[in-house]
Amino acid sequence: MGLFRLFARGFREAFRGIAANSVLSLASVSTAALTLAVLAGFLVAAANVHHLATVVEGQLQVRVYLEDGLPEVDLRQLEAHIAGIPGVVGHAYVSQEEALERLRQYLGDDRFILEAVEEANPLPASFEIDVLRPDLVERVAFELKDQPGVREIRYSAEVVRRLLDLTNFFRLAGLAMAFLLTGVTVFIIANTIRLTVFARRDEIAIMKLVGATDWYIRWPFVLEGIVLGAAGGGVAALLAAGGYRWLFRFVVERLPFLPLVRPEPMLHNLTLVLLAIGALVGVVGSQISVRRLLEV
């Protein structure tokens, strides 16, 4: 049979089924959407924590944030002190303006977000200190902790390990939650389709009688499942994308030093993943409800 006709018929029948029990179909899509949105939340969280870990890990570095308006003299004195600590192999001063410029470059197309903060630059000046070996990082930080003009000190090592642990936690928790909720979704989709199967039992009996193959009979129901599941995935993707774009803007405005994963291309990939999982859930749900059709 022409592939096009097979598809056309499948979709026509699938949408006929969805229209015929719209309430349950809507419930299916909503459940799928909710499930996949939860999964999306965990995946996005994991991606961000992982990103944070790699950012931190990339730095064999101690960063000393300075108090605003530190006099030139104090700055020079602090710099001299830094250069004298054993284990320090280099250091660079990052002014408030430079910090803002870096953030602008990092944001790329999203830099308009910063328009609001151009007036009063919220970013502190800092020293970036390169350290010889990871085990020296903590000592360097300790040396600088109580120096005048120092507002805050950040360094990596231990943090990285904790962040990676957190990444794994988010991934596992996301998977576990998704697994559980997917079970519920499969159940609801299966029941929705079972209703369509029931409504068409006479038609199915006649199809069998006149020699329709099993696949021919099943195909529209499988498509119905795919449509329901993928629709849920689509809704979840919209929710996730909207939510994350908002969060990204919110965080960049208020906590500009927090390195979030840029929305693109992450959200694009996430959408594909959610659609695919939705469709897969639909296939499984429909298979459960049409399995019994096999018996002649």
Closest CA to 233 of 32, 56, 52: 32
1 in contact with other proteins (CB under 8 A): yes
16 in contact with other proteins (CB under 8 A): no
Looking at the Cβ atoms of 17 and 174, the one nearer to other proteins is 17
Cα 184 → chain centroid: 22
Find the shortest distance in angstroms from Cβ 219 to other proteins: 11
Looking at the Cβ atoms of 205 and 258, the one nearer to other proteins is 205
2 in contact with other proteins (CB under 8 A): yes
Binding segment for other proteins among 57-65, 156-164, 205-213, 235-243 (CB under 8 A)? 205-213
Looking at the Cβ atoms of 6 and 195, the one nearer to other proteins is 6
d(CA 145, CA 157): 17
Instruction: Retrieve residue 178's tokens.
Output: 């998704």
Closest CA to 22 of 183, 182, 227: 227
CB atoms within 10 A of CB 49: 20
Among 71, 86, 211, 265, which residue interacts with other proteins (rule: CB under 8 A)? Answer: 211
Cβ neighbours of residue 264 closer than 8 Å, sequence gap 6 or more: none
Find the shortest distance in angstroms from Cβ 217 to other proteins: 8
Looking at the Cβ atoms of 11 and 169, the one nearer to other proteins is 11
Find the shortest distance in angstroms from Cβ 195 to other proteins: 18
Instruction: Retrieve residue 41's tokens.
Output: 């939340």
d(CA 79, CA 74): 8
Report the interface residues with other proteins, using CB under 8 A.
1-2, 5, 9, 202-203, 205-214, 216, 294, 296
